[in-house]
Amino acid sequence: MKNKIFQFLIIVVLFFTSCEKDFITQENDKSRYTPSTFYNTKAHAQQALNAAYAGLNQWANGYVWFLGLMHYVLGDDLYETGYAAGFTPWGAVTNFDLVNTQSPISDTWNGYYTNILWANTALEVMPAAQAAANDPTFTQDVLNNYMGQAYFLRAFMYYNLAQYFGDDKIIIRKSVPKTEEDFAMAPSSADETFKFIESDLKMAQSLLTTGLNNTSGYEKGRATRGAATALLGKFYINRGFYTQAAAEFKKLLPGVADATYGAYSLTANYRDNFTRTAKNNSESVFEIQMNDFNQQGGWGNNDVNWLFQNFTLNRTSWAIMWWNFAVPNFKLEDPTAPPTDVSQFESWSEVIGGVNTKVYDYRTYETFWGVPNGANFTEKGVVKDWVAQGWANETVAGKTGVYGIRKYAVDRDNEGPTGLDPLWSDNNLRIIRLSDIMLLYAECLANLNPSNVTPGDQNSAIYWINLVRTRANNVAVDQAHLYSTRAGVNGQLPTAQALMTAKGWTLLQLIQHERYAEGFCEGWRKEDMKRWKVGASFVKSKYGWKGYQSLTLPVPQSEIDNNPAWPR
Partner 1 sequence: MKQKLIKIIPAFSSGIRKPLLIIKLLLLVFIFNTLYVSAAVLKDESSKSPQQITVTGTVKDKDGQPMPGVNVVVEGTTTGVIADANGKFSIDVPRANAVLVFSFVGYAETKVGLSGRTTIEITMEESTESLEEIVVVGYGTQKKKDVTSAIAVVDIKQISESPVANLTTALQGVTPGVEVQGNQGRPGEMPTVRIRGVGSVNSTDPLYVVDGVPADIATINPADVESMQVLKDAASSAIYGSRGANGVVIITTKSGKSGAPRVSYNGYYGTESAWKTIDVLNMEQWAAMVSEANTAGGTTAPPLATDILANGYSGEETDWLGALFQKGAIYENNFDISGGTSNGNYFFSASQFKQDGIIITTPYNRYSVRMNSNWQADKFKFGENITYNYAKNRVQGSNGGRDVLEEGIKITQNIPIYNPNVLGGYSGYDASLVGHDASNPVGSLERQENYNYNKRFVADVYGEYQIFKDLAFRSTFGINSTEFQNRNLVLKTDMTPKNFANTTLNESATWTYNWIWENMLTYRKIFGDHDLTVMADYTSEYYKTHNMAAGGTTIQTETNDVLSKTEGGYTVGGYENVISRISYLGRVMYSYKGKYMLTANFRRDGSSKFGEGNKWGNFPSASLAWRISDESFMKNLNSVSNLKLRTSYGIVGNDYPIGPYAYISGLSSGIDYTFNAAKYSGVTVNGFNNASLKWETVKQFDIGADLGLFKGALEVTVDYFDKRTEDMLIPVPLPASSGNSGTITKNLGSILNSGFEFSLTLKKTSGDFSYSVTGNFTTLHNEVLDMGGFPITSGSTEPGSATRTDKGYPIGEFYGYHMLGVFPDQASIDAYVYNGTKIQPNAKPGDIKWADLKADGVIDQNDRYYMGSPIPTFTYGLSGNVAYKGFDLSLFFQGVQGNKIFAELVTWTQGMQNNFNAGVDALRRWTPTNTITDVPRAVRNDPNGNIMKVSDRYIKDGAYARLKNISLGYTLPKSLTEKANISNVRVYVTGRNLITITKYPFFDPEIGSNALGTGGSVNLSRGIDNGYYPQARTMIMGIQIDF
Contacts of 54 (CB under 8 A, 6+ apart): 62, 118, 302
Contacts of 412 (CB under 8 A, 6+ apart): 377, 378, 379, 422
Tell me if 358 contacts partner 1 by CB under 8 A: no
Q: 496, 485 in Cβ contact below 8 A?
A: no
Give, in order, the Cα–Cα distances in Å from 394 to each of 84, 315, 379, 568.
17, 11, 21, 48
The nearest distance, CB 286 to partner 1, in angstroms, is: 13
Contacts of 275 (CB under 8 A, 6+ apart): 410, 427
* Nearer of residues 240 and 298 to partner 1, judged by Cβ: 298
Of 18, 33, 419, 490, the residue at the interface with partner 1 (CB under 8 A) is: 33
Secondary structure string (H, E, C) spanning 222-242: CCCHHHHHHHHHHHHHHCCCH
Of 7, 35, 458, 498, the residue at the interface with partner 1 (CB under 8 A) is: 35
Of 26, 137, 356, 418, the residue at the interface with partner 1 (CB under 8 A) is: 26
CA angle (414 as vertex; 408, 420 as ends), nearest 5: 80
Tell me if 562 contacts partner 1 by CB under 8 A: yes
Backbone angles phi, psi at 71, to 5 degrees: -60, -40
Of 106, 224, 364, 466, the residue at the interface with partner 1 (CB under 8 A) is: 106
CA angle (109 as vertex; 71, 64 as ends), nearest 5: 45
The nearest distance, CB 47 to partner 1, in angstroms, is: 4
The nearest distance, CB 517 to partner 1, in angstroms, is: 31
Residue span 399-438 as binding mask against partner 1, x where in contact by CB under 8 A, dash where not:
---------------------------x------------
The nearest distance, CB 549 to partner 1, in angstroms, is: 22
User: Minimal CA–CA distance to 475: which of 374, 360, 362, 364?
Assistant: 362
Handedness of CA 455, 512, 333, 474 (dihedral sign): positive
Tell me if 31 contacts partner 1 by CB under 8 A: yes
Of 41, 47, 100, 103, the residue at the interface with partner 1 (CB under 8 A) is: 47
Of 83, 483, 532, 566, the residue at the interface with partner 1 (CB under 8 A) is: 566
Q: In a 3-state reduction of DSSP, which class is residue 324?
A: coil
Tell me if 334 contacts partner 1 by CB under 8 A: no
* Nearer of residues 103 and 244 to partner 1, judged by Cβ: 103
* Nearer of residues 79 and 109 to partner 1, judged by Cβ: 109
Tell me if 556 contacts partner 1 by CB under 8 A: yes
Give, in order, the Cα–Cα distances in Å from 522 to each of 69, 392, 406, 502.
11, 22, 12, 27
Q: Which of residues 183-222 bind partner 1 (CB under 8 A)?
A: 183-185, 219-222
- Distance, in Å, from the CA atom of 407 to the CA atom of 419, rounded to the nearest integer, reads 19
* Nearer of residues 106 and 282 to partner 1, judged by Cβ: 106
* Nearer of residues 57 and 466 to partner 1, judged by Cβ: 57
Which segment (50-58, 448-456, 501-509, 528-536) binds partner 1 by CB under 8 A? 50-58
Number of residues that bind partner 1 (CB under 8 A): 76
Q: Which of residues 112-131 bind partner 1 (CB under 8 A)?
A: 113-114, 116-118, 120-122
Of 23, 319, 355, 568, the residue at the interface with partner 1 (CB under 8 A) is: 23
The nearest distance, CB 186 to partner 1, in angstroms, is: 10
User: Minimal CA–CA distance to 511: which of 491, 541, 537, 531?
Assistant: 531
Tell me if 278 contacts partner 1 by CB under 8 A: no
- Distance, in Å, from the CA atom of 48 to the CA atom of 150, rounded to the nearest integer, reads 9
Residue span 309-328 as binding mask against partner 1, x where in contact by CB under 8 A, dash where not:
--------------------
User: Minimal CA–CA distance to 208: which of 231, 189, 181?
Assistant: 231
Angle between helices 42-54 and 140-165 in degrees, nearest 10: 20
Of 77, 303, 366, 527, the residue at the interface with partner 1 (CB under 8 A) is: 303
The nearest distance, CB 30 to partner 1, in angstroms, is: 5
Q: Which of residues 156-185 bind partner 1 (CB under 8 A)?
A: 171, 173, 176-180, 182-185
Maximum Cα–Cα distance for the chain, whole Å? Answer: 123
DSSP secondary structure letter of residue 554:
P
Of 41, 51, 399, 552, the residue at the interface with partner 1 (CB under 8 A) is: 51
Which segment (21-29, 334-342, 373-381, 394-402) binds partner 1 by CB under 8 A? 21-29
* Nearer of residues 277 and 393 to partner 1, judged by Cβ: 277
Tell me if 514 contacts partner 1 by CB under 8 A: no
Q: 540, 341 in Cβ contact below 8 A?
A: no
The nearest distance, CB 69 to partner 1, in angstroms, is: 17
User: Minimal CA–CA distance to 145: which of 201, 215, 260, 224?
Assistant: 224
Of 40, 42, 58, 468, the residue at the interface with partner 1 (CB under 8 A) is: 58
Strand partners, 425: 305
The nearest distance, CB 176 to partner 1, in angstroms, is: 6
Tell me if 149 contacts partner 1 by CB under 8 A: no
* Nearer of residues 304 and 461 to partner 1, judged by Cβ: 304
Give, in order, the Cα–Cα distances in Å from 65 to each of 97, 219, 302, 322, 323.
20, 24, 9, 16, 13
* Nearer of residues 139 and 562 to partner 1, judged by Cβ: 562
The nearest distance, CB 36 to partner 1, in angstroms, is: 9
The nearest distance, CB 133 to partner 1, in angstroms, is: 15
Report the run of H or E that residue 430 belongs to, with start and end.
Answer: strand 429-433
